[in-house]
Amino acid sequence: MSDPSIPVNEDGLPERTQVHELMDELDDLVCMLSMRDELVLQAGPPGSGWFFQPATRIVNADRGDLETREPDFCRGLITHEAAHAAVTRYFDMIPRRLFEGPHLPTLLNVIEDCRIEEWLQRRLPGCKPMVELYNNILFAPLLEPDQLPSSACGQFCMSILGRWWYGDFPEGVEPVVEDALEEAWPEISKAIALQPPAVFVDAEPVRALYLRHPVSRVYLTKDFGNSPTGIEMMVRMYQYNMWGQVYQQVLPVFQRLQEHDRKQMGEKANQDLAQLLSQIRPVPDPNSLPQTGGGRQVMGAPAWSQAAGPGPGGAAGLSAAIASALAADPHDKYLQTWQSLSSLIDQLAQDLIRLFEATLRSKWLRFQSSGTRLDVRTVMQFEADKRLYDRIWRRRTVPKRIDPAFILLMDVSGSMGGDPIEHAFEGVVLMTEVCARLGIPVDIWTFGNKAQHLHSWETPISAETRATLGRVVQQCGGGTDMAGGIEAVTDALGELPHKDKVCFVLGDGEPNDERATRKAVRVLENQDCTVLGLGIGNSTENLGRFFNDGLYNVPVERIATSLARMLRKYFLN
């Protein structure tokens, strides 16, 4: 039996209401404006507000407004949220701890709203009347004297909107706020002007610029296997530059007002600003969002469209605040080493990303005896030299997806004490952090008198993992049972499902049992695992007798860079 509360037409089918028709139109607007077809538009319950939630890729339309407001008001608000989906990415770049409290979220929300609305009108010039309609409706009450926030920070944020939209301050603003905005306005204007192109951009001309830009570090893990589009790369670079402009030029002025509020109002200033934030752009907690309803949803959305999580790959390096998040405890060996190697880790991770992506693209091979495309140069030579008849074709290669997994096996015998283990530990940190950024599984083992498993590929790399690894430098002693270490790796290898397995063996001397070591290496290689040796210090060339490839006589201070070189060489080959 049909539900009597749902209107039906004369054929007994659910009747399409005016709201349904409007939602279809808004759905098309979201797709066209955002240039992202994986977004989900849903009609939330009355009072739920209008918002874009990046983590869930939901664009919410308030059903109460859909049923009671004029269509152009709803069209305007949906274009605003679609513009956020198109160009707002600061949630990927800024550590979540900086969003504790209402101050930075409110300031960024206000400046970002101005930035995306200017971009929106470049992307869709015909939407200007709709933008004017909803801004005049929404801004006017907020700028009334009796609605003015009590805090200087709140007045500063409202004054940005007033100056940008109406060209003037709201009535009743404190002189200290007027002075602050006059000082900061040229820099705020520059931040608003940092807008990406409003049309699609070809990826290839942009890629080299993007890979050199610091924002590419933020997205190393997300870009692995999911290369961003040209417009997405531009969006990220402009957002990163906008955040840098705000952090360096605007935030210091805002923080002076924050200190002013603290002295004048105490905790009430935070409450005042939190209330303003909820009025300007209420964004609910992801856990409180209603379930996804109808609308377009494309499965298999690219990983880069989701909000970044915390961790070393989530917020790299512009501001002192971000750098301080990685500040090393002087008693923490791992973090000290991690900090000292940060540039090498960044560079190696980016190099591997480029190498892995290159294998995913087909290439045209020249001088083939058969193929699907003639090699024009060779054909021209063939006119003069008929012996080239079997070299005139070009053939496309089949892309190969690299599926890597790394094993690191390190000597901790007595002879490794001092400088050798200190610098070998740099190799451990390098491997661990690069794998953490790229999502590559890594197994870490040591061997002395016996093998010890320090980290399993199944276990996430956590603070506890790093603390455990940091104690390795204090554990040197005993003999060099390399064979036992390799055998332990082989026994555990059967559970590792990845096809491109590489084991790096780091040591500074010959093993206790040469014959057993040779046998152990061959058995491991028969498990489809490449075994590479790295000889630490002088007179380690004899280690080359046990491995098909590797680097030997490596100065202790170059262990990390040599390991990076081996990784690049292996995947290039």
What's the CA gap between 308 and 299, in Å, rounded? 19
- Terminal CA-CA length for the chain: 67
- Spatial CA neighbour of 111 closest among 253, 261, 207: 253
Q: Give residue-wise pLDDT tens across range 231-272.
A: 999 999 999 999 999 999 999 999 999 888 888 877 776 676
- Please determine, looking at this structure, whether the domain spanning 404-572 carries the CATH number 3.30.1130.10: no
| Whether the predicted model's global pTM rises above the 0.85 cut | no
At residue 171, the pLDDT reads: 78
* Span(s) in the chain for CATH 3.40.50.410: 404-572
Distance of CA 73 to the CA centre of its chain: 34
Q: Give residue-wise pLDDT tens across range 95-142.
A: 777 777 778 888 998 999 999 999 999 988 888 888 888 888 877 766
At residue 278, the pLDDT reads: 63
What's the CA gap between 300 and 295, in Å, rounded? 16
**CB-CB neighbours of 92 under 10 Å:** 21
- Spatial CA neighbour of 408 closest among 453, 352, 468: 453
| CB-based contacts of 543, cutoff 8 Å, min separation 6 | 507, 510, 533, 535, 550, 552
Quick one: tokens of 526? Answer: 């028969």
At residue 349, the pLDDT reads: 81
Burial status of residue 306 (CB atoms within 10 A of its CB: 0-12, 13-18, 19 or more): middle
Q: Give residue-wise pLDDT tens across range 191-242.
A: 999 999 988 888 888 888 888 888 888 887 777 667 888 999 999 999 999 9
Low-confidence ranges of the chain (pLDDT < 50): 1-6, 8-9, 11, 13-15, 282-330
At residue 314, the pLDDT reads: 31
